[in-house]
Structure 1
Amino acid sequence: MTKQPITKKLNVPADVVWDAIRKIGRLDVWFPIIETCRVEGEGPDALRYMTIAGGGGDIKDTIEQIDDANRRLVYLRPVSPFPVTYYKGTVEVFKSYDGLAIVVWTIDFESQPEDAASVAELVHGAISAGIDGMEKDLQGA
């Protein structure tokens, strides 16, 4: 299992960031790699369907946990165009001393050993760009 954490402090209040993340949508706004995003259902067991830009494939996420007390969202990705056999994302929002958000987005995945480095690099780049996009979107809200 490979663990890929991405951490960034945003210039947006923690409560605003958590409220946006817990709604589980808007990934097509935040992530340059995501072309479409639609959500079916609410809360745990909700499904999130996405397409990768440029015909890169389809993604399906199952929301496992939305923990408001700890500002934590956990999802599993049973359908992915990436060479992984297991993919779990955990998004946590911490409140900094100044009330701003610190986002820790951790991906746990399994892949063939020869694919692990390229998947980790792809995940790191995509999640980093998505967090930047989320910050820009929420600053305009």
Structure 2
Amino acid sequence: MRTKQAITKKLNVPVDLVWDAVRGIGRLDVWFPIIETCQVEGHGAGAVRHMTIVNNGGAIRDTIEEINLLRRRLVYLRPVSPFPVTYYRGTVEVLESYDGLAVVVWTIDFESKPEDAQSVADLVKGAIADGIDGMEKDLTASANAVRA
């Protein structure tokens, strides 16, 4: 069963700072409470991101499919995941609000058995919302440190 789950949040952080962090590919272990480690091999499209889930929850591997600088969009495929999915594609878009702050739209498109679809959608929604909150906290601290 194909399912699409989108999480959107306006951050109190300038759009360029958020986009620079997203296109940097890493730091998911800082932003997401569920991710214990995050290591990146390579740069840009084709780079591979290796992660582990806390409490021996398994391994994740992402392949960066696209980084579109003009549209501020990063797309990744997740061929290795501990979740019950047969396909997983994430798209992170950083939009600019009227006040120059960032609006993050993180969309997950996945395929799973019908009986797993809702639990995966709920897991993804919670984990990504937590990750976006963690990103905002991290980038706010970075911006404040630069100003000090």
How far 1:29 moved relative to its partner? 0.1
Within 2, Cα distance between the matches of 1:19 and 1:45?
Answer: 18
Q: Let me know the Cα RMSD of the aligned residues.
A: 0.2
AA matched with 1:28: D
How far 1:140 moved relative to its partner? 0.5
Q: Counterpart of 1:90?
A: 91
AA matched with 1:16: L
Is 1:131 the counterpart of 2:125? The answer is: no
Aligned 1:48-59 pairs, distance under 5 A: 48-59=49-60
Q: Counterpart of 2:25?
A: 24
How far 1:79 moved relative to its partner? 0.0
AA matched with 1:58: A
AA matched with 1:65: E
Within 2, Cα distance between the matches of 1:2 and 1:14?
Answer: 28
Aligned 1:1-141 pairs, distance under 5 A: 1-141=2-142
Within 2, Cα distance between the matches of 1:7 and 1:68?
Answer: 20
Report percent identity of matched pairs.
75
AA matched with 2:135: M
Within 1, Cα distance between the matches of 2:16 and 2:58?
Answer: 33
- Relative to the length of structure 1, the TM-score reads 1.00
Structure having the higher Rg: 2
Unaligned runs of 5+ in 2: 143-148
Unaligned runs of 5+ in 1: none
Paired residue secondary structure (1:140): helix
Paired residue secondary structure (2:17): helix
How far 1:22 moved relative to its partner? 0.1
Within 1, Cα distance between the matches of 2:15 and 2:88?
Answer: 26
AA matched with 1:105: W
How far 1:65 moved relative to its partner? 0.2
AA matched with 2:95: F
Q: How many residues align?
A: 141
- Relative to the length of structure 2, the TM-score reads 0.95
Within 2, Cα distance between the matches of 1:17 and 1:120?
Answer: 25
What do residues 72-117 of structure 1 show as CA deviations (whole Å, max 9, x unaligned)? 0000000000000000000000000000000000000000000000
How far 1:60 moved relative to its partner? 0.1
